[in-house]
Amino acid sequence: MEQTNKLPEKVKYDLKFAREIYSLENGSYIKQCMQCGMCAISCATRDIMDYSPRRLFNLIKLGKKDEVMQANTFWYCTSCCTCLVRCPRGVPLVDVMHDLKKYALDNGYGDYPQAAFYKAFWAEVAGRGKSFEGGITARYFLFRGLDEVLKYMALRDVGINMLKHRRLPLLPPKKVKDLGNLKKIIRKARELSGKEAR
């Protein structure tokens, strides 16, 4: 496979980036990776990933910030958990991928369409306490722009079928009644996790 040969040109160790990643919630697990490749052969989307998880971990260890953050690897993870149950070192790869997504969004690496989807999903949940497909879709296109809308015209059959079979409510679900307190909880949780990354 072509992507297997994609190696950084010069190996220059920059441990600052590695340390930053290790300090994320599940980041220290990356140090446990022994490069066996089990995640690579297990992954449902490995074929279209820039680097398999184990290669990505290697790049992190080398401090290759741009290569890591610009890779599609963690955005293409589908959370199917196959790697998670197979990893002989018990690395919770799905959770590590979450950390990498969050780090990418926090540091301005959010160009993949998946990043827009993630932000759209969170905006709905944070604002209502529940997710609403219609709102997520609208926000997604807002983030991605008109070009993306046109591209999706090919998919209009999917949408029409969903509507026809009453599977896309046009009105959002009722907000969580205790939304004020839910927001307080989320704010406090974000504050705490910022203070102490484990």
Partner 1 sequence: MKYSFYPGCSMEATAQANLKSTEAVAHALDLQLEEIPDWNCCGATVASGVVGDFTQQVMTGRNLAIAEPKGQDVVTGCSSCYLSLARTNKRFKEDEHFKAMANEALAAGGYQYNGTLRVRQFLEVVISDVGFERITKRIKRSLKGLKVAGYVGCQTVRAIPYEFDDPEYPVMFDRLIESMGAEATAFPMRTRCCGSSHALAGTDIVVDSIHRLFDSAAQGGAQVIVTPCPMCQMNLDAYQQRVNQLRGTNFNMPILFFTQLMAIAFDLPTDAWALKYNIVSPYAALAPYGVR
Q: Contact residues for partner 1 (CB under 8 A)?
A: 24-26, 44-45, 48, 76, 78-82, 84-85, 94-95, 97-99, 101-102, 105, 112-114, 116-119, 121-122, 125, 129-133, 136-137, 140, 155, 157-158, 161-162, 164-169, 173, 176-178, 181-182, 184-190, 192-193, 196, 198
> How far is the CA of 132 from the CAs of 83, 109, 116, 124, in angstroms?
30, 26, 15, 7
Maximum C-alpha span of the chain: 56
Helix (H) or strand (E) holding 160: helix 156-164
Dist CA 167 CA 162 (whole Å): 5
Which tokens belong to 99?
């950390």
Nearer to partner 1, 62 or 109 (CB): 109
Nearer to partner 1, 18 or 24 (CB): 24
Minimum Å gap between C-beta 35 and partner 1 is 22
Dist CA 36 CA 163 (whole Å): 46
Minimum Å gap between C-beta 101 and partner 1 is 3
Minimum Å gap between C-beta 12 and partner 1 is 29
Minimum Å gap between C-beta 54 and partner 1 is 19
Nearer to partner 1, 35 or 78 (CB): 78
Dist CA 120 CA 117 (whole Å): 5
Minimum Å gap between C-beta 146 and partner 1 is 16
Nearer to partner 1, 79 or 107 (CB): 79
Dist CA 175 CA 19 (whole Å): 40
Minimum Å gap between C-beta 10 and partner 1 is 31
Nearer to partner 1, 40 or 125 (CB): 125
Nearer to partner 1, 31 or 95 (CB): 95
Dist CA 24 CA 29 (whole Å): 10
3-state secondary structure of 152: helix
